[in-house]
C-alpha cells in the first residue's frame, strides 16, 4: 500500500443517507497547501457500489478546513457538482489548485432525493496509466 493510498482513503463502504462528512479525514499536523498545482495527475475518485431510493442525488466536495469537523474556514479543492449516482460506477473529479493552506482535509457529501442510500468508497488516486507496454 502506498503512502498516497493510506493517507487519502476518505471513505470505505460508507453508507450515505443524508448529508455527511467522510468517515476518514487527513490531519496535516500544521496548515499546508497539499494541492498547490503539482496534482495534475491526481483525481478524487468516487467508487459507487450501491444506490437506492427515489431520485437520489449526490455531491462530493474535497475540502480543506481549520478543524477536524470540516466546519471552520472551509475551502473547496474539488467539487463533483450534483449528479445522479449509478451503482457499480466510478466518477473521477479533477483536483484543482488549493487557494490557501489548511490543516484538515476530507470530503463533504450532500445527498438528496427521497429515502436515498448511497454506498461508496472515495480516495485520491493517481491518473490512470495507459500504454505501459511498448
pLDDT tens over the chain, length 134 residues: 344 445 589 999 999 999 999 999 999 999 999 887 654 567 899 999 999 999 999 999 999 999 999 999 999 999 999 999 999 999 999 887 888 999 999 999 999 999 999 999 999 887 654 433 44
Return the domain boundaries, the chain. 3-126
Structure-block grid coordinates of residue 78: 474539488
Strands (E), the chain: 9-16, 20-21, 26-32, 42-65, 75-79, 89-94, 102-126
Q: Model pTM?
A: 0.88
- How far, rounded to the nearest angstrom, does the alpha carbon of residue 42 sit from its chain's CA centroid? 12
CATH of region 3-126: 2.60.120.1110
pLDDT value of position 133: 41
User: Any idea how long the chain is?
Assistant: 134
Amino acid at each position: 500500500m502506498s503512502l498516497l493510498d493510506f493517507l487519502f482513503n476518505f471513505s470505505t463502504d460508507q453508507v450515505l443517507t443524508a448529508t455527511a462528512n467522510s468517515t476518514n479525514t487527513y490531519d496535516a499536523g500544521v496548515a499546508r497547501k497539499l494541492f498547490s498545482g503539482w496534482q495534475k495527475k491526481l483525481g478524487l475518485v468516487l467508487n459507487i457500489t450501491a444506490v437506492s431510493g427515489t431520485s437520489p442525488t449526490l455531491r462530493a466536495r474535497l475540502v480543506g478546513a481549520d478543524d477536524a469537523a470540516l466546519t471552520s474556514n472551509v475551502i473547496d479543492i474539488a467539487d463533483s457538482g450534483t449528479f445522479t449516482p449509478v451503482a457499480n460506477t466510478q466518477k473521477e473529479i479533477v483536483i484543482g489548485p488549493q487557494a490557501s493552506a489548511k490543516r484538515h482535509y476530507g470530503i463533504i457529501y450532500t445527498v438528496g432525493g427521497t429515502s436515498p442510500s448511497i454506498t461508496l468508497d472515495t480516495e485520491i488516486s493517481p491518473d490512470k496509466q495507459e500504454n505501459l507496454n511498448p
